[in-house]
Structure 1
Amino acid sequence: MATLEIKNLHVRINDPENKDTREILKGVDLVIKTGETHAIMGPNGTGKSTLSETIMGNPRYEITQGDILIDGQSLLELPVDERARAGLFLAMQYPVEIKGITNMEFMRAAINARRDDDDQMSVRDFLKELDRNLDILNMSESMARRYLNEGFSGGEKKRNEILQLMMIKPKFAILDEIDSGLDIDALQVVAKGVNAMASPDFGTLMITHYQRLLNYIKPDFVHVMMDGRIVKTGDAKLALKLEDEGYAGLRDELGIEAKLVDDDLSEANPDGI
């Protein structure tokens, strides 16, 4: 069993060009173990996407206090590629298109980057695993041969993120609004892929606005984020309550002032990193 721990995390925007140094995360504490599924919900601009990008090492966000650890080892000094090798995977809210490299080339390179030189995945084993996962996601082999996300619809990009997840098999997956822009059929397929990953060696952190995703991927824990903090934790019933009542009642209960602030750079800038 592996553990991803976020300890008293304070983060601000690192954007000196625009003289923007707002604090976004204001003391986030969260522990995720493999074998568990966690969901974070909350209004826009409360720091959800900032948390995912910071865990993965986006340099646009500056950690001013706190730590991020896997099995007790801090990740703060590690660049993005080394965090990926340590077992992290981020399914991005806005997957980017990369010309010149196919999905197949990208995924096999990512898999072998995590392996020792004497344990590289063979082409034969790769294609066998690829065919199995393409079948689960109802994807054609032609999509795997296309350039990474080039010309893909929004739904195809999200499905492709899950294909990468299933091929790479990280310890922890962070799914940043993987359900946004999906119709019900596509959502069910994406959820099928995530559920196929379930094992004692895999943990999930889902970030979403809507309870509907949790109808298909059942969370063990639901966390509510407001004003840069996790303010409430419960089980799946908490998500149902939020769906019925919204966030206003919880804000009033906790005495949190509503803020319509565009705090998440990734929400303000769909191009991401």
Structure 2
Amino acid sequence: MRAVVYDRYSPELEGLAVREVAEPKLFAGSVLIEVRAASVNPVDWKIMAGYLDGMIDARFPVIPGWDVAGVVVAVGADTPEFRVGDEVLAYARKETVSAGTFAERVAVPAEAVALKPAELSWEQAAGLPLAGGTALRAVDALGELDGRVLLVHAAAGGVGSLAVQIAVARGARVIGTASERNHEFLRSLGAEPVAHGAGLAERVLALAGGPVDAVADFVGGQLETTLAVLRPDGPHVSVADDSVVEHGGRIIWVRVDGAETARLAELARSGALRVEIAETFGLDGVGDAFRASRTGRTRGKLVILPQR
């Protein structure tokens, strides 16, 4: 089968190639998925750059990618949850980085997989698991939000835009930081936009009419602002700044959890959650997608279509 691979770490993100590789082996309790779409997340290029080597082992050559949507084409022994022909999505992270989702087929443990609602396109389904799981865990960690004011840093990004929608659906008043060009987008999600940069704390306090009740940081480097605008003992979380723990906050890292992915899929099916697609690429465009993701200026999800 065809897959994107790299043979070594590269901070310059050089060395990606499309090659013929061996078909995935199918272990008991797993499903083989024909990949219709797989989305890019910042963790994908950070792993390739070697930034996560102290956290997870890479077995070269690496096929990158952790998000997938596709069709079940085979099931392993004792896998009654799924049948051939099922349309599914999954956060397919494994214990080592090796056989990822930027390929024509991928084997995934059944506990990571959820059924894809017919209402979702392949691109939307592929963009949901990692970013949506991160957003859902972050919002869950903040506790009761109905009638409360939540500040979301980087609200227009792949994770932030999903967190905004989940929080709005729970009755929160959401203030979201973003560049001016994304303010209308945030309004369409139900958030009140505010420009990031110098003077952010003052702008947030003025818009909120005082301290906010909770903060979710999806970019990092925002702790000073968070503490300046958050009410005493208010909950706050970050996906990118370990130092929040020293100030009563919590670090969020998504887990492999098919039940959680199914919750996201139901939110999307019901219309409470919309996945914004920024751009799609074929396998030979993964390098371009990584570089676009690395800019940090992408609104919504970058999606790989292996069959294009």
TM-score by length of structure 1 reads: 0.24
Structure number with greater Rg is 2
Q: Hey, which of these two has a bigger chunk of helix by percent?
A: 1
The one of the two structures with greater contact order (alpha-carbon pairs below 8 A, sep at least 6) is 1
TM-score by length of structure 2 reads: 0.22
